[in-house]
């Protein structure tokens, strides 16, 4: 699942709403350790039959070879291995100068289980999770190096506490379970006696998605983690117990005022005061949030359903929840203005690139390759070929260095190719705007062209207002168009 899909699936939580999300790297240490184990090996057939022959009363190698019908050297080889395992010994015969072979007590136990036990000191590789602070198995996952994490723009989640694991952090029982489950297939059972040393460690990062939830009342913040498309309760609990939200200043960031908020709220409030009762919009918005929550829960139940009967029941619940969501969204669309939340923005941008027919305007302070990628450029090129007028405004004072020169060059190349494309450095684009044809304008705090791939980002409560009233959409477009014309087609 993509981060956007994860955010959409887990967007609701009782008493909270999703304020922000980001693709992150969860710290994992790859440890090379040295362990002392007891190896339980299946007894080779020749050794098993030689041992059984001795237990049955045969005394010499000639007798055993004749009984088994094999060469005497084969028997001697088996006896040598059994002697090393202390399963047989030579014992004197009373009243005689000769010794005979005899099964030891250890040999009798080996016969009962048909296996031999050998001590072994050996190297092993395990993983230690820097958040949940215990060993784990991530052999099936892609683990990123720090440079790869940085190149992809993933946010680093620090280990809590920020120190590498020590020998005392490794629990013998947990390490034994990992070795047994994921060890050498030729050894079907290993008993771990001790972990002798940590010879080497490497820091890696497990790809995941951090989901930041803001309380509907009060200032509480919860952080969820999704790994491989599934919520990890272990990571969330450990992160909370280690005071991760406080140490990363997440409450401070999410509740800090944002410069775009006045414009976002004034658009909504000015419309409400003229044409609708505030309670009507608030009630519909609440009904829409409940409907979204029901859809998310039904989707989770459908994924978790095991039987055909449970799947059919979950599918029915999902269809009903989606119908309720469509009804509330339709009512909100009739009003023509509503809040939009963080998980809705990426889908709105994709829809605009796919379906704009006359004009598309995007204002975003920063531009990065994480968003302005090959797919984005392909869709933009298709729009321009269809004679859609496209306007992209960017830049925010001294912070313009956050934009990616390669992404900007790709857009400049398109601008030189098409007269209907304006790429303009506005220099003060605090408000982020997405305007599509005459049908909608979204004014938001969401960075349309850099919402992914910023390892230095701070988490804000990303929300905005969507206006779907043609008169107001056109009014917003004309105001912004004057700014583009004043600045000219430049970068």
Q: What CATH number corresponds to the domain at position 65?
A: 1.10.10.10
Res 273: pLDDT:
44
Strands (E) located in 178-290: 189-215, 221-227, 230-231
Choose among 410, 344, 417, 414: nearest CA to 373. 410
433 and 352 share one domain: yes
pTM: 0.73
Per DSSP, the residues of 261-294 read HHHHHHHHHHHHHHHS-HHHHHHHHHHHHHHHHH
164 and 99 share one domain: no
Residue 325 domain-assigned? no
125 and 102 share one domain: no
Residue 11 domain-assigned? yes
350 and 428 share one domain: yes
29 and 171 share one domain: yes
Residue finishing a domain among 230, 254, 278: 254
| Cα distance between residue 406 and residue 412, in whole Å | 10
Res 437: pLDDT:
96
131 and 149 share one domain: yes
50 and 88 share one domain: yes
Residue 255: exposure state from Cβ atoms within 10 A (0-12, 13-18, ≥19): middle
Distances from the Cα of 31 to the Cα of 120, 182, 313, angstroms: 19, 15, 46
464 and 370 share one domain: yes
Res 82: pLDDT:
85
pLDDT in single tens digits along all 491 residues of the chain: 889 889 988 888 888 889 999 999 999 999 999 988 877 777 788 888 888 888 888 888 888 888 888 888 888 888 888 888 888 888 877 767 777 788 888 888 877 777 666 778 889 899 999 999 999 999 889 999 999 998 888 889 999 988 899 999 999 888 888 877 776 655 456 778 889 999 999 999 999 999 999 988 888 999 999 999 999 999 999 999 999 999 988 888 877 777 666 666 666 565 554 555 554 666 777 787 788 778 878 888 888 888 888 888 889 988 998 898 888 878 877 777 788 888 889 999 999 999 999 999 999 888 988 899 999 999 999 999 999 999 999 987 665 567 889 999 999 999 999 999 999 988 776 668 999 999 999 988 888 998 776 666 678 788 888 888 888 899 889 988 998 888 887 75
133 and 194 share one domain: yes
Residue finishing a domain among 189, 223, 254: 254
Q: What is the CATH number of the domain that holds 461?
A: 3.30.870.10
Res 183: pLDDT:
63
100 and 28 share one domain: no
Residue 388 structure tokens: 């859609």
Residue 426 domain-assigned? yes
Residue 146 domain-assigned? yes
Residue 126 domain-assigned? yes
Q: How many domains does the chain have?
A: 3
Residue 273 domain-assigned? no
54 and 161 share one domain: no
Distances from the Cα of 299 to the Cα of 186, 316, 344, angstroms: 42, 11, 17
Residue 303 domain-assigned? no
Residue 297 structure tokens: 């829960």
Structural domain including 72 reads 44-106
| Cα distance between residue 259 and residue 430, in whole Å | 7
Residue finishing a domain among 106, 132, 159: 106
Residue 363 domain-assigned? yes
199 and 244 share one domain: yes
């Amino acid at each position: 699942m993509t981060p956007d899909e994860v955010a959409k699936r887990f967007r609701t939580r009782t008493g909270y709403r999703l304020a922000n999300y980001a693709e992150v790297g969860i710290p994992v240490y790859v440890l090379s350790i040295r362990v002392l184990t007891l190896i339980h090996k299946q007894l080779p057939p020749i050794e098993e039959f030689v041992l059984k022959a001795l237990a049955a009363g045969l005394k010499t190698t000639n007798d055993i070879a004749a009984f088994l019908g094999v060469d005497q050297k084969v028997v001697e080889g088996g006896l040598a291995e059994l002697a090393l395992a202390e399963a047989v010994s030579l014992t004197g015969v009373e009243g005689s100068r000769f010794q005979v072979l005899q099964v030891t007590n250890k040999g009798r136990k080996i016969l009962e289980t048909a296996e031999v036990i050998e001590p072994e000191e050996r190297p092993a590789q395990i993983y230690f999770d820097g958040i949940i602070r215990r060993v784990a198995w991530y052999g099936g996952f892609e683990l990123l190096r720090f440079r790869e994490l940085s190149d992809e723009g993933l946010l680093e989640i620090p280990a809590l506490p920020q120190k590498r694991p020590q020998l005392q952090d490794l629990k013998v029982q947990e390490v034994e379970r990992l070795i047994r489950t994921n060890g050498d297939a030729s050894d079907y059972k290993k008993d771990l006696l001790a972990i002798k040393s940590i010879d080497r460690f490497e820091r890696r990062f497990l790809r995941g998605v951090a989901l930041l939830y803001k309380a509907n009342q009060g200032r509480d913040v919860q952080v969820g983690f999704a790994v491989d498309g599934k919520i990890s309760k272990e990571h969330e609990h450990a992160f909370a117990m280690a005071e991760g939200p406080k140490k990363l200043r997440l409450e401070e960031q999410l509740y800090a005022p944002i410069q775009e908020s006045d414009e976002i709220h004034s658009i909504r409030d000015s419309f409400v005061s003229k044409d609708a009762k505030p309670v009507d919009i608030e009630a519909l918005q609440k009904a829409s949030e409940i409907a979204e929550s029901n859809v998310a829960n039904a989707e989770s139940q459908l994924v978790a359903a095991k039987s055909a009967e449970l799947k059919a029941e979950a599918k029915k619940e999902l269809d009903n929840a989606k119908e309720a969501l469509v009804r509330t969204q339709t009512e909100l669309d009739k009003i023509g203005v509503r809040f939009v939340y963080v998980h809705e923005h990426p889908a709105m941008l994709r829809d605009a690139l796919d379906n704009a027919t006359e004009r598309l305007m995007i204002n975003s302070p920063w531009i990065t390759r994480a968003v302005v990628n090959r797919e984005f450029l392909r869709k933009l090129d298709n729009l321009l070929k269809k004679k859609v007028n496209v306007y992209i405004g960017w830049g925010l004072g001294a912070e313009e260095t956050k934009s990616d020169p390669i992404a900007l060059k790709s857009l400049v190349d398109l601008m030189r190719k098409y007269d209907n494309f304006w790429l303009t450095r506005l220099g003060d684009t605090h408000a982020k705007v997405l305007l599509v044809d005459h049908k909608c304008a979204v004014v938001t705090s969401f960075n349309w062209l850099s919402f992914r791939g910023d390892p230095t980002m701070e988490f804000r409560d990303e929300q905005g207002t969507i206006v779907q009233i043609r008169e107001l959409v056109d009014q917003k477009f004309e105001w912004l168009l004057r700014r583009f014309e004043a600045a000219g087609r430049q970068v």
